[in-house]
Structure 1
Amino acid sequence: MALETYRKKRDFTVTSEPRGLKGRSSGNAFVVQKHDATRLHYDFRLELDGVLKSWAVTRGPSLVPGEKRLAVHVEDHPLDYGSFEGTIPEGQYGAGTVLVWDRGTWTPEGDPEKAYAKGHLDFTLHGEKLKGRWHLVRMHPRPGEKRENWLLIKGEDDQARGPGDPDILEEEPNSVITGRSLEDIAGDKKSRRWTSGKAAQPRVETPGSPRARAMAPVESIKSDPPAKKKRALPPVKRAPFAFSPPKGAKRKALPDFIAPMLPTLVATPPSGAQWIHEVKFDGYRIEAVVKAGKVKLRTRTGLDWADRFPTVAAAFAQLPVKDCIVDGEVVVEEANGISDFSALQNALSEGETGSMVYYAFDLMHIDGYDLTGLPLVARKEILQSLLKATPDVILRYSDHFDENGELMLQHVCRLGAEGVVSKKRESHYLSKRSTDWLKIKCANRQEFVIAGYVPSTTTRKAIGSLVLGYYENGKLRHAGRVGTGYSSKMALDLFALLSRERIEKPAFESPLSSEARRNAVWVKPDRVAEVEFRGWTADANLRQASFKGLREDKNPKDIVRERVAPMAKEAEAPATSVTFTHRDRVYWPEAGVTKQGLADYYTMVWPWIEKYLLGRPLVLLRCPNGIVQGGFFQKHPWAGIDPHILQIHDPHEKEPILGIDSFDGLMALVQSAALEIHPWGARSDDLDHPDRLIFDLDPGEGVAFAEIIAAAKEVRRRLAEAKLKSFVKTTGGKGLHVVAPLTPRATWTVAKDFCRALADSMAHDAPQLYTATATKTQRPKRIYIDYLRNARGATAVAPYSTRARPPAGISTPLTWDELDSVVSGSQFTIGNFSKRLQHLAKDPWDGFFRLRQSLPGK
C-alpha cells in the first residue's frame, strides 16, 4: 500500500496525525500503538521499504506461543507516525486516543520483502515489552471477504509465557514514552501533535514525568515549557509591505515542503564578483512554511518542529503575508554574538525557547508565487523587505558580504564562528547539493554515528566517552572516541538514554582492536552526535575531538566521512562552443530537470564519462519535448545536425553512424535532446571486433532487487570461471548490467555465442529464477538474461548516462563491494549524483580499459 491511501483517509487540517513522507529505503524499526477508537485495539507496525507496514490487532499481542491473534492488514503509515501520541478528533478516520505501547527494532528471518509478499513473516522483536521470535501469517480469504486478515503468533523461546502467566497487556498498559495512560492523554488538551524522528525513537512528551526528566536534556523536547520561561511577544507594529511579483516569478500553489539546497564542502572560499559570502550558522536548518497564519517549521528531512520552537513559529505567524516559505537556521547566540549549537541544545533541554532566534537567508515562495527560479540576490532583496515589516527581533535577516571570501573567512574564524557559506549571486534555488553554494569551515566538524559508550570512572550512571563511527559503502567504520565537551548533566542524560539501547556486539563491520574495545558498552547505531576535532590519526581515528551535541535531524545511515570536494577554478571548468537554445526546457517534469540541468550534469561528470563515449559509435534516445511525450532512437545523422557530432562510416550501413570526440560533442548531444546515450560494444576504428561483453539483467514483474543483485553476482562467478574479470553498474532503470572488457580479437558471432551459452546455462540451472528468452510471457517473477546486446550494432546505455524516465536515473558504475547497499537500479539520479561523486576517490571501474583478457580459446 502506498502513503496515498493513508493521506486520502485523513484531513490534516483537522487531525494532528503527521502527513508524513516516505522515509529511508531500508530500516528495522517496529512500534505498537494502543488505540482506543470505536473499540480498543493495538496497531502493530513494522518498518519495511520506507514505510510502516501496519496491522490492527483486535485483542493485542499475546506472549503465549501458538495463541493466534487476528491482525487485520491496514494501510501503510509513514515512519514518523510511529512516534504519534494524542487524540484523533471525532469525525476523523480512527477517531480516538493513541499511545505508543511498545517500540524497538525487528530482525527478519530471510528476505523480508519476499516473506511479506508470500504472506509469512518470521522475525525477532527487540522491544521494551515485546521480545523474541514472532510470526505473521496471512490467512486465505473467504469468498466475498475484502479485508486482508493475518495472524500474529508468538514463537517458542525464553521470552514466551504460559497460559496462566500474567497478561503483558494488563501488566504494562501505559506508554513507553511518557508512562501515561490513555485516560491521561485523552484528558490532556495540550497533548503534543506528533514527534520527530524515526519510529524506533519517539520523543519525550509530558513535562515533569520521571521519563521526561531523564530524557529531556538529551531529546531536547518539552511540549509546554514553564510559563516563566516563555518569551512575551511584543504588540504587532508592521512596517508597510507590498509584494509585487518580479519578472521570472511564477504563480504556483504553496507546496508543503521544498527540499533544501545544500552547499558543497570546499577547502577555501572562491573569489570573484559572481560570489557573495554569508556567515555559516551553528544551529538547526529550518524551513518555515506559512499559510494563512499557520506555521510549520520543517527540518531538512521535512519533519515539522514548530512545537519545538514555539516562539519562532509565533513570530512567523505575524508576517504580513498570505503564505511564504523561508529558508534559514534556528540558533542561540552567545554573548559574543556567535551562534553555538551546544547552547541551542541546552536551551531546548531547559525549555528556554525565548533565547532562540531565526536567521533567514532565502525566500522560495511568497503570496502564491514561486521564486526558486529567480537569482539569489533578487530573492534576498524581497526577503529583507519582508522581515523589515515585522518588529519581532526573533526573525533576523542574514546579510551577505561582497568582500573577498578569504578575508571574511579569516575574520569569522577569529571570532569563533563555524565558517562561511559562499553563494553565486545569480544562483537559482535547487533542491539538491550544488557547487553554486559552497561551505568552508573554520575547524574540522561533522556528524558521527554513536555506536557505544564508555561509562564514567568518576560518576555513577554517567558516560565518560562515546564510541563513534561513520558509514563507508554501507558499512559502519570505527572513528574512535570523543571524551570531552559534555556537561555533567549531559553525561548523566546520555547514560540514561543509551543504556536502554544496549546490544551485545559492536555494529562495526571490521573487528576492533583491544584498545578500541576497552570498557566499551555497545548500543544500536541509531543516534548521531556532532563533533569538532583537529584531524585524523594515521589509523583513521579522530584526534582531539569535542562533543557538541546530538543531531536529531540526521539519519545515521547518511553519516559518512566528510571530505573536501576539489573545487576547480571557474576558468578550468570545461567550456563549450555549442550554442544552446531553450535552456529552460523541462526534460524530466517530476524531477524538474531542464536542458540546462542536463548540461550541468554532463559538465560535472565529463572527466568520468568521456572514456566510455569517445571513439565509438553511439545510438541516441532523443526526446525533444521531454520524457512525457516520449522520444525516438537515432543512429544516423539528421538535418541540421551539430558539426561537433561525428558522422562515422560503416560499410554495413548506407548512412553514416554517430559519434563524438570532445566535450563539445557531448554538449551537442544535450542540445539535440539526447537523454540517453548508448555506445556500441566496439570502437569506431574496429567495428567488427567487440571490446566488451554485456549482460543486461532485466527483472520481470514481482522480482525483488535483491534477486537482481544475486543474479549479477552469479554472472560474475561464471565469468570468473572463464577467466574473465567483470564490472557492474545500475541501468538507471530497473536492473543491472554486468560488463566484461575484452581485448578485441573475437568476432561478434563468437562473443554472442559465448554470452548466449552463459545465459542459457543460468536459465537451465535455475529456471524458476532466470530466463534467456525475450518473450514477455516468460518473464513474470523471473530475470531475463539479455545477451542480445552482444551483436554488431547492438548497444547498451553508457556508464554515467542519464535515462529518459522518472526519476532521471543515472546508469551508475559500482564497485562489487557496494552492490549490496544499492536498493534499486534507479537509485542514483541527476538530483543526487553530485553527492556520490564527492565521496568517490576514483572511478569504481578503475582499470577497466587497462585490463587485457580474451574469451576462452582466443
Structure 2
Amino acid sequence: MAKTGAKKAPSPGFIEPCHPTLKKRPPNGSDWLHEIKFDGYRAQLHVHGGEVTIYSRTGLDWTREFRPIATAAKALADHDAVMDGEATVFGKTGLPDFQALRRELSKGSSARLTFQAFDLLYMDGYDLRGVPLIERKRVLRQLIGDRGGAIAYVDHLDIDEGAQVYEHACMMRLEGIVSKRKDAPYRSGRQELWTKTKCTKRDAFPIIAFVEKLGAQPRRIASLYLGRWEDDRLVYAGKAQTGYSLAAAREVRERLNPLVTGKSPLSHPIKKPKATWIAPRIQAEVEYSGVTDDGLLREPVFKGLQDEPAPSRAKPAAAATAYGRVPRVNILQLLPDAVVPSKDELTAYWMRVSDRALNFLGGRPLKLVRHVNGTTFYHKGPLPPIPPAVHQLRMQKREGGQGVRLWVDDLPGLLGLVEIGVVELHPWAATVDDIEHADTLIFDLDPGEGVSWEFVIETALRLRDLLHAEGFKAWPKLTGGKGVHLMAPLEERLTHNAVHAYAKRLAQQFAATDRERYVTSAQLSHRPGKLFLDYIRNGRGTTAVGAYSPRARAGFPVAAPVTWKDIERGLKPDAFTTSRPPTRRRGL
C-alpha cells in the first residue's frame, strides 16, 4: 500500500481512540472536514484472520453485545482491518437515538444496531495511522462501499464554513458535529486535531426559587432553581448557576422580590436549604445541552427573563405524601448519603459481567435499592411499569396480603432493572421455584467503629473453620461496604425459620468465645469497638447484597465473590468496582 505514512505491521490489538476536544464554535477553513456527531457508543471494529472483535472505547471486548455488527462484518473477512466508529440505532425520527440504542442492546440481538465507521486505522498488513485523514477515509469508503445495513461509511462535508455545517446540524436536531484536520495522522488520546461542537437547546422554564449571593450589596442572585410543567404538576427541572452578568444578577433579584412566598410551589417539594421560594410567575430563558433520565436539565445557562406568566395550575393533594418526587409509600428506607453511577455506567457494567453475576443473582426474588428523581432508597410497595424482560413473582407476604417481588434470569432483565432506576440487588437465600426453603446459610461480619480489618479477616477464617466442622463448605464475599459475608450452601433446603434458628445458635456460640470483641445484637449502642456477627440475614424475605451488585457508594464498589487466599492476603471489601470488577468467578 503505497500511501504516505503507511507502515507495514502485524495486525494490532486494541488502539486507544482519538478523542476530540470540545469547542464552542467549529473551525473554518479549507484544512478541515466536518462529520455528524453520532449519539451512541464509541466502538472499534477489528477483522483479522476471518474473525471479528469489537472493542468499547476503553478496550473492553463487546463483540457479544454488538453481535449483529460482528455478524455483518463477516462480509469483510477477506481483509484484515481496524475501523473506528460509533455503534448506534436510528430512532423513529430517523436520527441517532441513544435511548433506543440501550433498548435494542437489552434484546441481545437487533437488526437496528449499526456501526457508523468514520476512520480506518489498519488495512491488510499496513498501519495507516500515519496516513492523512482524507486518504484513510478514501480507503475506508472503498472497503465498505455503499452496501448499507449494519456497517456504514460516515461521509463528511468539505465546506470551508464550519459554522454553516454546525447550524444545519442543529436545525436537524442532531447532537452536533465533529471537525477534523484533513491532513492529520491518527493520534490516540485527547487531540486538537479533532474538535467537537455540540448543539444546544433553548427554552423557557418557570423560576421556582433563587439562591442569593451572601453579603452582596446591592443584593443579587447566585443561581436560579427551575421547574417544568407535567400536565397539572410542577416538577423540579434543575439549577441554572451560570450565564449571569453582574447587572443581570442584580436585576433578576429585584424582579423576583415581590414573588417571594416562603414555601415551595412544586407539586412534590424537595429539600433545598439555600433556596428562597417564589411564586412561579416569571420564566427564565435557558440554554441547555439535554435532559437527564431524571428529567433534569444538563448544563443549563441563563439567557434572560420572559415576562409571560406561567399558567395557573392546581397542586394535587398527593403532594404532601411524597419525598422529593418519590411517593412515601415506595420508601422502605432513605439513603441520603448515597452516591450512584449513571444508567449508562450501570448498563456498561452489567453488559460486562452478566454471565458471571447471574450465577448469583438469577432466579432469586430481589430486594431493590432504586435511584429515582434524585432520591436513593430501598424500595417497597407499588412498582413502576416493569420492562418485559423483568419477571414478577406474586407471593404471600409475611405480614399478610399479596406482594410482588421482581427477579431476572438474563442480561435483558438486568438492563430492565436499570431502566427503572435499580442500583443495588439484594437477593433472597432462596430461588423463585421454592421461595419457602433456603438454599444458603449467611453470616455478615460487620465491624463497628474502631475494629480493624485484620480482626475481621481473623474472624472470617475462624468462622470458616467452625462451619467446616459443622459440615459446610463456606465461601467469602466482599460486600463493597465495610465487611465480609460467609456464604454456606445447604445440601438440603431447609425452612427459613430453621435456618434462622441454626444461624443464631452458631453466632451466639462463636460470640461466647470473646464477649469483649463480638456482639450478636443489631442495636447500634452495643456495637462500637465490636464485630457484629449478623445472623439476621437468614429468614424469609431477609436479604444480603448480591455478588456482583454495585453499591450506592463513592467509587461505585461492587460486592464480589473471592477466594480464601484473597481474604488471607487482606483484600479490602471495596477492592472491586464497576470499572474494575472481578475478572472471573472467584471463590467457588
Question: Shorter-chain-normalised TM-score: which range?
Answer: 0.3 to 0.5
Q: Higher relative contact order at CA 8 Å, sep ≥6: structure 1 or structure 2?
A: 2
